[in-house]
Structure 1
Amino acid sequence: MHDRLIGAQRTLMSAPAHQIVEHLSEYLTEQYAVAALELFQVDYRLSELVPLDGGPAVTHPGAPAWRAFDHLAEVVDGAALWLPVAVRGDRLGVVRITPAPDDPRLRAELAEIADLLGHSLAAAREGTDRYAVAARTKRLTLAAEMQWGLLPGRGRTGPAFALAGQLEPAYAVRGDTFDWSDDLDRLQVVVINGHGEGVAAATLTCLAMNALRNARRAGLDVADQATLADQAIYSYHRGAQHIDALLLDLDLRTGVVTAVDAGSPRLLRLRGGEISPVALEAQDPLGMFDGTMYATQTFTLEPGDRLFVVSDGIVDATARGTRYGENLLDRFLARSGALSPLAAVRSVIGDLRAFIGGETVDDAVAVCLDWTPPGPGDDRRQT
């Protein structure tokens, strides 16, 4: 690693959690003759890039800041250099650096430093509220606060996959959520379609998600994970409350997916520009009955396949007496193949907002997963 990059890393590691941007800006002024470094974080709705210290947000989709965010690439706009800030595929925002260096080697170094900043921001969020608060354009409800605190992030990439998810309405979501974990050659994904209102719905989802994580971290397969979560919910609510869930376990080497459909959200596959449902036998929702035993089902992906999981809050959304419905959703998803997973879920939610003319009344969740196994001789490594 270049000496200046090592210096930037040390600066980020030694800075107080709430001042890492300021300390990094001072370092770049000394080493790169940078006049200003500004951080813009993406907001909870994925619709604004919000400056850390206030000021107008960037909302126009074609703006240089959004091009850097969407394409994970540098964008030079006059005297400004825009760079994406992300960590393992989870896009946090962008930085604007002025003036933009003419030397492409310096810009490449600054891009690496922006990556280091992403990792530092992810760690700093555990110790300060500054960045979480600055990314909000309005106050979260208590239920939404609980739900966002559950999430593993909004995106993740690895050598053989890319995925992303989004909740809606972002600032008032109640029961819908998602989770994932990648380990060696496996990727496990859970999508929950919650029930109920407010904090009661969020509490039920928290119980289900933590039961599923507890079982997963104990090394249980997805069928036993569902069984344990089912028992946890039933023992507390005695069947009065239940939750719909889809559990997926993808073998990243072979593309074989082991699934448990517990009254789950809608699962769709995009292959060769054609969208089609993945047929799974629906089993009882988690917590509905005492002693439910869950069985796994399998299906196989082909390289380049894309999976979508969407909750009924999208399909059943209604505006002016018209239901959004499966046909409109399928047509929209079929055109999303050129988009990244995050751009795809952002577009789905954006299309839904446009359809209903505002935020959804019901909860909605969308998750997009691409399986992109390395080809022969392709030695990809996650960064």
Structure 2
Amino acid sequence: MVDPTLLLRRRERLAVRHMHERQAVARRALAEAPAHLLVERLAECLAEAYGIDDVELYQVDYRLAALLPLGGGETLTSGDDPAWRSFDEQAEVVDGPARYLPVTMRGERMGVLRLAPVTGHASELAEIATMLAHELSAVRGSTDRYTVAARSRRLSLAAEMQWELLPGRSRARPAFSLAGQLEPAYAVRGDSFDWADDADRLYLTTLNGMGEGVAAASLTSLATNALRNARRAGLDLGDQAALADQAVWAYHGGTQHVSALLLQLDLATGLVTAVDAGSPRLMILRDGEVIDQELVAQFPLGMFEGTMYHEQRFHLAAGDRLMVVSDGVLDAISAAGQYGDQQLASFVRDARSLAPLQAVRSLLADLRAFVGGDLVDDAVAVCLDWAPA
């Protein structure tokens, strides 16, 4: 007689082997697919391996207000839709025979994969959705299909330049979660943000190039790349600002400048090194209280020749949320008046339970509702949660 325990173990090992085989087939299908046919090749694989005959990728649009189907069809804008619940909660959502899975890579939320009909295989299908996210990231530079499909309308040229400049919209690691958003998303001009992380540090910069249209976007691009060049050369934060200042001055001779806030976070200790070069607003949410983090303002980048920048330091506490907003947020005006400090502080407190990407999305949606449409001035909002191990 066969030992039931041994039989069960054999079945479990066989199930695991079959799971790995199915995932390997999906990985190979994605890796070998033409860049513009990732979803189609994945759908063929899922039909054969799982009997799934309805596959759709919904990508989040630039405004974070709609989920747009790659294959055409209904745009999803209601937060109650199962696809949006999956996107917001970053979890599987089951709706009858359909299953919605987040398509996310290293915290970068790209959209949601809808599969139907589905029975079982929850964890392996979730991993396949993550594989798709990695492949989408890998091919974006070689095909416009996914970029175009994520737009609900045409971008202005300046906005095209700004979005191409971003390293991503969100990032997550065990020690932190970060997200940023630009508004008006389809016509942003000079406002932007940049970030990079390594083993023990996170660099975060927010920028606002003066002027309008392409001129503002070009100015911000120059400053961003100058800061990256200095950072990658191993320069300290103050020297990074000084090099970018020289680059902007060399091209514009003081007629144009960029307001910037440079932050470097030690991921182990919470020590923040900062350079405030005419920066946006910096707040910390700690234990339900909004704290204005005071920094000594220094000259914007490129305003004067040979400016020396001084570093300042402060500490985050475990569980702190850091929020950076540009003047386009505080100066938003409607018939009811100015959005202002009090309303912003109230929002930051009320949004504490939201993940950073949801928080910046909700803030800018709140602003659009406040002004009754798109913002007149550019705005950038960045949210960072620090949660050391």
TM-score range (shorter-chain normalised) is over 0.9
The letter of the residue matching 1:333 is: V
User: Does the 8 Å contact 1:256/1:299 carry over to 2?
Assistant: yes
- Residues 346-365 of structure 1: matches in 2 within 5 Å? 346-365=361-380
**Partner deviation per Cα, 1:282-334 (whole Å, 9 max, x = no partner):** 00000000000001000001110000000000000111161111111111111
- 2 CA distance for matches of 1:310 and 1:292? 25
2:341 pairs with one of 305, 326, 338: 326
Q: Which AA in structure 1 matches 2:267?
A: L
Letter in 2 for 1:41: Q
1:32 maps to amino acid: Y
Please state if 1:183 is matched with 2:198: yes
Structure 1 residue 4 displacement after superposition: 1.2
Given candidates 136, 141, 144, the residue that maps to 2:151 is: 136
Alignment partners' CA distance in 1, 2:304 and 2:340: 30
Counterpart of 2:213 (choices 198, 201, 209) is 198
2:135 aligned partner: 120
Does 2:249 correspond to 1:234? Answer: yes
Counting only pairs closer than 5 Å after superposition, residues 157-176 of structure 1 correspond to structure 2 as 157-176=172-191
| 1:81-100: CA deviation from partner (whole Å, max 9, x where unpaired) | 00000110010000100012
CA RMSD of aligned residues (A): 0.8
SS of the residue 1:2 aligns to: helix
Match of 1:335 in 2: 350
Q: Which residue of structure 1 lines up, in the alignment, with residue 171 of structure 2? A: 156
Shift of 1:193: 2.0
Alignment correspondent of 1:28: 46
- Give the SS at the match of 1:283: coil
Give the deviation of 1:274 after TM superposition: 0.9
Q: Tell me the SS of whatever aligns to 1:204.
A: helix
Q: 1:89 aligns with which of 88, 92, 107?
A: 107
1:257: Cα distance to partner? 0.3
Q: Is the 8 A contact 1:261 1:280 kept in 2?
A: yes
- C-alpha distance in 1 between matches for 2:209 and 2:222: 11
Give the letter for the 1:275 counterpart. V
Q: Distance in 2 between matches of 1:55 and 1:196?
A: 39
**1:9 corresponds to 2:27:** yes
- CA displacement at 1:62 relative to structure 2: 1.4
1:62 aligns with 2:77: no
Counterpart of 1:300?
Answer: 315
Question: For structure 2, which runs of at least 5 residues remain unmatched after alignment?
Answer: 1-18
Contact in 2 for aligned 1:43/1:135 (Cα 8 Å): yes
How far, CA to CA, are the matches of 1:226 and 1:99 in structure 2? Answer: 54
User: Cα deviations across residues 34-63 of structure 1 (Å, max 9, x unaligned)?
Assistant: 011100000000000000021111100111
Cα separation, 1, equivalents of 2:194 and 2:240: 13
Q: Structure 2 CA distance, aligned partners of 1:227 and 1:234?
A: 10
TM-score, structure 2 length as denominator?
Answer: 0.94
Deviations 1:161-215 (A, max 9, x none): 0000000000000000001000000000000122110000001001000100111
Distance in 2 between residues matched to 1:151 and 1:58, nearest whole Å: 25
In structure 2, give the amino acid aligned to 1:122: S
CA distance in 2, matches of 1:3, 1:221: 48
Q: What is the one-letter code of the residue matched to 1:148?
A: W
Give the TM-score taking structure 1 as reference length: 0.96
Q: Percent identity?
A: 62
- Residue number in structure 2 paired with 1:381: none
| Alignment partner, residue 377 of structure 1 | none
Aligned to 1:214: 229
Q: Which sections of structure 1, spanning at least 5 residues, go unmatched? A: 375-383
Other structure's SS at 2:322 match:
strand
CA distance in 1, matches of 2:109, 2:214: 28
Aligned to 2:93: 75
Task: Determine the C-alpha separation between the residues in 1 that align with 2:212 and 2:26.
Answer: 46
Report the structure number with the largest CA radius of gyration: 2
State the match for 2:330 in structure 1: 315
In 2, Cα distance between the equivalents of 1:298 and 1:131?
41
Aligned residue identity for 1:323: Q
Letter in 2 for 1:149: E
Distance 1:100 1:355 in 2: 42
Q: 1:241 to 1:321 in 2, by over 3 A?
A: farther
Contact 1:76 1:100 in 2 (8 A): no
Amino acid paired to 2:314: F
Moved over 3 A (4+): none
